[in-house]
């Protein structure tokens, strides 16, 4: 599938990365502009730590794994300097957002800011092995492990004891972060963490009866018949499944890869909108109305992560069904999300696949899912032969 590989690589190098190189650098305030309209104009100057960190990760990773272009490393360092200088409170927790010049706006209530910060500095250390980068990555990582059982801390609004749920997102992200951090951690820490997150994802959150993964379960893993407990986020599941496939490769565990492929295929079938195409954002496992008003929208990251997942599933298992899904997802994503006129990809489509918000970067979209997916697909499919026709 060299052809696909080349198409994805060209899109990454010639369309997507130039958009961010051109529009997102904030020379005045430091760091990156996250909020860019269709044309790349800055429409808001707030700095969201998730997104700043993710852009650092992207440029550092491309420099280290794609091509050692000095402007990419410089771009990564530019964001990292801003993060290192302004991103943390006195206890080392990462704020959620800062203003253009680095003054804190929103407190560190969200542990994923910390996850993406440690991922960013771990990647930057690979590209530029300065001890200060390793230290931030490690300090942040151990702080995450310390906070992981009560990630929201004092901002947690759940009353203790009535309905204690655990959420899928943290083990899911940790399953990716463990590999991203491996070069900075001792073997036992990595081995223990991998074992624990694989168990959480594949045994606790995965439901044998439905073949689906729930976003929230009771602490003992049982089903909670509540809005949170009934929630399925197909995009989350499918993204987590390619993290599992990477872990299967790393641990030489083909069974894990096969199981992850099965769950991803089941979830694609479940989450696919049979009327208008695309993957729903949120669903209720009992088919009740969900709380999320945006449930039927089609989001860029969901479809890009699904492309990565099916590329890997096909490369690692050779299953024809994965190839068919890849083709179907490719057609949907390239026809609906890609902006052929003004570069980069749209983020939010309505159920019918029409653009809902004409932005290229916003509070949640930045230089991350699109380039990471293009890079992952290109790399994965490089060595994969076309199926015999």
Query: Cβ contacts of residue 325 below 8 Å, gap of 6+?
Result: 265, 268, 306, 310
Query: SS3 of 380, please?
Result: helix
Q: Residues in contact with a second copy, total (CB under 8 A)? A: 43
The C-alpha atoms of residue 201 and residue 166 are separated, in whole angstroms, by 12
Tell me which H or E stretch contains 118. helix 111-127
Per residue in 132-166, is it b (16+ CB within 10 Å) or e — as a string?
ebbebbbbbbebbeebeeebeeeeeeeeeeeeeeb
Touching a second copy, residues 90-149 (CB under 8 A):
95-96, 99, 103-107, 109
Considering the complex, state which of residue 155 and residue 199 has its C-beta at the smaller distance from a second copy.
Answer: 155
Asked if residue 363 binds a second copy (CB under 8 A), the reply is yes
CA distance 63 to 292: 38
Among 29, 350, 353, 382, binds a second copy (CB under 8 A): 350
- Long-range CB contacts for residues 286-294, cutoff 8 Å, separation at least 24: 286/225, 286/230, 288/230, 290/227, 290/230, 290/231, 291/227
Nearer to a second copy, 293 or 340 (CB): 293
Residue among 188 and 286 whose Cβ is closer to a second copy: 286
Distance CA 386, CA 314 (A): 11
Position 219 contacts a second copy (CB under 8 A): no
- Reported as type and span, the H/E element at residue 76 is helix 70-86
The stretch near a second copy (CB under 8 A) out of 25-33, 155-163, 205-213, 262-270 is 155-163
* Of residues 314 and 337, the one with the C-beta less far from a second copy: 337
The CB-of-273 to a second copy minimum distance in angstroms stands at 13
One residue of 362, 373, 377, 384 binding a second copy per CB under 8 A: 362
Asked if 251 touches a second copy (CB under 8 A), the answer is no
* x/- track of binding to a second copy for residues 285-324 (CB under 8 A): -x-xxxx-xxxxx---------------------------
Q: Site residues for a second copy, window 12-51 (CB under 8 A)?
A: 35, 37, 43-44, 46
Cα 139-168-269 angle, rounded to 5 deg: 135
Residue choice 3, 70, 149, 162 for contact with a second copy (CB under 8 A): 162
Give the binding site for a second copy (CB under 8 A).
35, 37, 43-44, 46, 95-96, 99, 103-107, 109, 154-155, 157-159, 162-163, 225-227, 286, 288-291, 293-297, 348, 350-351, 356-359, 362-363
């Amino acid at each position: 599938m060299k052809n696909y590989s080349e198409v994805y690589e060209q899109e990454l190098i010639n369309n997507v990365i130039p958009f961010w190189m051109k529009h997102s650098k904030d020379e005045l305030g430091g760091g990156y502009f996250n909020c860019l309209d269709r044309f790349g104009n800055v429409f808001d100057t707030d700095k969201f730590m998730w997104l700043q960190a993710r852009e650092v990760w992207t440029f550092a990773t491309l420099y280290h794994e794609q091509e050692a272009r000095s402007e990419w490393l410089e771009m990564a360092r530019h964001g990292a300097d801003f993060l290192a200088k302004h991103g943390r409170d006195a206890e080392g927790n990462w704020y959620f957002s800062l203003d253009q010049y680095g003054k804190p706006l929103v407190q560190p209530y969200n542990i994923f800011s910390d996850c993406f910060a440690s991922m960013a500095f771990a990647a930057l250390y690979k590209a530029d092995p300065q001890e200060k980068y390793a230290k931030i990555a490690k300090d942040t990582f151990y702080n995450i492990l310390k906070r992981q059982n009560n990630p929201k801390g004092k901002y947690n609004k759940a009353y203790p004891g009535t309905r204690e749920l655990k959420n899928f997102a943290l083990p899911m992200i940790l399953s990716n972060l463990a590999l991203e951090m491996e070069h900075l951690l001792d073997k036992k820490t990595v081995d223990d963490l991998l074992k624990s997150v694989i168990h959480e994802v594949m045994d606790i959150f995965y439901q044998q009866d439905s073949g689906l993964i729930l976003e929230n379960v009771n602490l003992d893993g049982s089903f909670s018949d509540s809005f949170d407990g009934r929630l399925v986020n197909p995009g989350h599941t499918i993204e987590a499944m390619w993290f599992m496939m990477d872990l299967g490769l790393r641990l030489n565990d083909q069974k894990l890869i096969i199981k992850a492929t099965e769950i991803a295929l089941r979830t694609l079938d479940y989450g696919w909108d049979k009327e208008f195409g695309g993957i729903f954002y949120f669903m209720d496992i009992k088919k009740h109305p969900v709380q999320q008003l945006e449930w039927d929208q089609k989001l860029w990251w969901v479809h890009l992560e699904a492309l990565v997942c099916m590329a890997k599933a096909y490369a690692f298992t050779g299953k024809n069904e994965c190839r068919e899904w890849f083709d179907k997802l490719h057609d949907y994503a390239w026809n609906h999300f890609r902006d052929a006129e003004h570069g980069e990809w749209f983020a939010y489509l309505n159920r019918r696949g029409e653009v809902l918000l004409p932005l290229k970067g916003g509070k949640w979209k930045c230089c991350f899912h699109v380039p990471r997916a293009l890079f992952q697909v290109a790399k994965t499919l490089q060595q994969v032969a076309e199926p015999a026709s």
